[in-house]
A and B are shown apart, each in its own frame.
Chain A
């Protein structure tokens, strides 16, 4: 069974631009969570989608948004990029909504975003 895939793997943008990242979960998984990983802040939860609905949201500004499609693929968008948005963005998929179950989250390889 194929794992979680994320595209693109690397991205370089300039301040003020916007970016869209994509995540395809493991087949059959309906939940997708997004995380931001930086050396200083560690792994920070952005949001979780389950059955096309946002179930949980972390403490990030409104510039960060996401959506999930009927095939469970998810996209994350960051508008008006700032230097501090440079990070590794990870998505994780699980069978069901993580708060309601003990399902394991399986992570993709991440998208390395650099903002210049």
Chain B
């Protein structure tokens, strides 16, 4: 069975500092990994995905994520956080043949 974990319920970071939102996964085949962001009273917005190739994936709004096969991780990163980045972030995994599984979400607070 496949699963995805976001070990932190909440991440706090000061504006201008780098941010990391963690995600680990467990699949039986090749992982397809996604990051989504949700702002209050909105649906999820796609940020980026890893299918194959370069381990560093660049996405929307300056976000990037690094696929690490040995650590089964796909952490979301941004070099300099903005207050407007404050939102709920979801990691998702699909290994083909199964439905996409979403993590529980991590709430990011960026303080001015």
Contacts and interface: CB of A to CB of B under 8 A. Distances in A.
Interface of A: 4, 6, 33, 35, 42-43, 45, 48, 56, 58, 90, 92, 98-100, 102, 104-110, 112
Given A104-B46, A112-B41, 12 more contacts: A45-B102, A48-B99, A92-B44, A98-B99, A98-B100, A99-B97, A100-B96, A104-B34, A107-B45, A108-B43, A110-B42, A110-B43
A56 B96 contact: no
A109 B43 contact: yes
Chain B interface size, under 10 / 10 to 19 / 20 to 34 / 35 or more: 20 to 34
Interface secondary structure of A, over-half rule: strand
A35 B101 CA distance: 11
B49 interface: yes
Nearest to A48: B99
B102 A43 contact: yes
Interface string B31-74: 01010100001111110010100000000000000000000000
14 contacts: A42-B105, A43-B44, A45-B100, A92-B43, A99-B94, A100-B96, A100-B97, A104-B46, A105-B34, A107-B36, A107-B43, A107-B44, A110-B42, A112-B41
Given A42-B105, A48-B99, A98-B99, A105 B46 contact: yes
B71 to A, nearest CB: 22
B104 interface: yes
Contacts of A104: 34, 46, 49
A102 B46 CA distance: 13
Contacts of B94: 98-99, 102
